[in-house]
A and B are shown apart, each in its own frame.
Chain A
Amino acid sequence: MEMNEETSGSRKLRCDDTSKCFELLESILDGEMGDPGKEVLKEKLAKCQPCFEHFHLEQAIREVLKNKCTKQSVPKELAQTIREKIQDVK
C-alpha cells in the first residue's frame, strides 16, 4: 500500500478505526454534527492521513454528484399538464 509521504506531514499513516471514523466524517460532511463536528473534523484532518484522504474523496464525490446529476431537464409541458389535471378535479 502506497503511503502519501509528501502530504502526510505529521499525520499518522494508519487510522485506528476507519469504519467509525469514516462514518463520522461523512456525518460531519452532511452537516449533521453542527459546530462540535467542525472541531472534530479539524483535529482528524490534522492528525490522521487516511481520514484526511477519505474526507477529500468524499467531498469530491459530493461535488460531482451535485454538479453532474441534477441537471435532468424537465419536460416543458409537465407543469402545464399538472395544472390542467388539477383543474379537472377541482
Chain B
Amino acid sequence: MSEVQRRKYSQVEKNSIFDGEFMPHIDSMYNFAYRLTFDEDDAKDLVQDTYLKAYRFINSFEQGTNAKAWLFRILKNSFINEYRKKSKQPAKVDYQEVETYYNSDDVDFQGTTDLRAESVKDMLGDEISNALNSLAVDFRTVIILCDLEGFTYEEMAKILDIPIGTVRSRLHRARNLLKEKLKGYAQHMGYDTDEEE
C-alpha cells in the first residue's frame, strides 16, 4: 500500500493489473459503497470514482500486493473526503453515540444472557441489515471490513489509517452496539430472550 515507491507500468501491464487484480473486487466494493451510502446511485458513483482513481494512481500500486485492501482504502477516503459532503442523504451519524463510546473507558455489553445465539440465527436478513445500517459510520465500517470482507486487523489499520489497537477496540465497541440493536429487535419480534424485570 506504499505510495512512495512509484512504478512505471506499460499500457499492457496496466490493463492486466486493472482487469486481473482490480475488477474482480467489484462486488465487494459495491457492497461496501452501498452500506456506506444507502443509495444505489451514490454507491455506483462511489465505486466508479474509486476505480478511476485506482487507474490514475496505478503506478503507486505494487503488483501482486493486496489489491482489495488498496482499493478499499481509496473508496473509504473518497467517501470521507468528497462523497459525504455532496451526499443526497447525509450519512446518519449519531455523534452522540460515537462520542459516548469514544470517551468512555470501557462500556461493555452486559446483555450476553439477554441475547441468545439461537434468536440471532432466526433473524431475517432485513433485521440484521437494519441493525448494521443503524450503527454510526465508523462502527459500521469496521464490522463490514472485518466480518463481511474478512480483512485482518493489520489490513484494516492500513485501510482506515488508525493503529491496530484502535481497530481492535473500535471493533469491540461496534460489536457491543450491534448486539444492543439486535437485542432490541429480538425483544420487539418476540424472539426468545431473557427479559429482566
Q: How far is A59 from B169 in the complex, measured between Cα atoms in Å?
A: 18
In contact, B128 and A64 (Cβ under 8 angstroms) = yes
Smallest distance from the beta carbon of B50 to chain A beta carbons, Å? 9
Residues of B within 8 A of A78 (CB): 26, 30, 44, 47-48
B189 contacts A by Cβ under 8 Å: no
B1 contacts A by Cβ under 8 Å: no
Smallest distance from the beta carbon of A28 to chain B beta carbons, Å? 12
Given contacts A18-B108, A22-B108, contact A61 B120 (CB under 8 A): yes
Using a CB-CB cutoff of 8 Å, which residues 4-54 of chain A contact chain B? Answer: 4, 18-19, 22-23, 26-27, 30-32, 50, 53-54
Smallest distance from the beta carbon of A85 to chain B beta carbons, Å? 6
- Interface of A, helix, strand, loop or mixed by DSSP: helix
Q: List 8 A-B contacts (CB under 8 A).
A: A22-B109, A23-B172, A57-B117, A72-B30, A72-B35, A74-B27, A79-B26, A81-B44
Residues of A within 8 A of B (CB): 1-2, 4, 18-19, 22-23, 26-27, 30-32, 50, 53-54, 56-66, 68-72, 74-75, 78-79, 81-82, 85-86, 89-90
Would you list the 10 A-B pairs with minimal beta carbon distance, nearest first?
A68-B125, A60-B117, A56-B117, A60-B120, A74-B30, A72-B31, A65-B147, A82-B51, A57-B117, A68-B128
**Contacts A18-B108, A57-B112, A82-B23 supplied; 13 other A-B pairs, CB < 8 Å:** A1-B194, A19-B106, A26-B172, A27-B153, A32-B168, A57-B120, A61-B178, A61-B182, A64-B123, A64-B128, A66-B147, A70-B148, A78-B30
Residues of B within 8 A of A (CB): 11, 18, 23, 26-28, 30-31, 34-35, 40, 44, 47-48, 51-52, 55-56, 106, 108-109, 112-113, 115-118, 120-121, 123-125, 128-129, 132, 143-144, 146-148, 152-153, 168-169, 171-172, 175, 178-179, 182, 194, 196
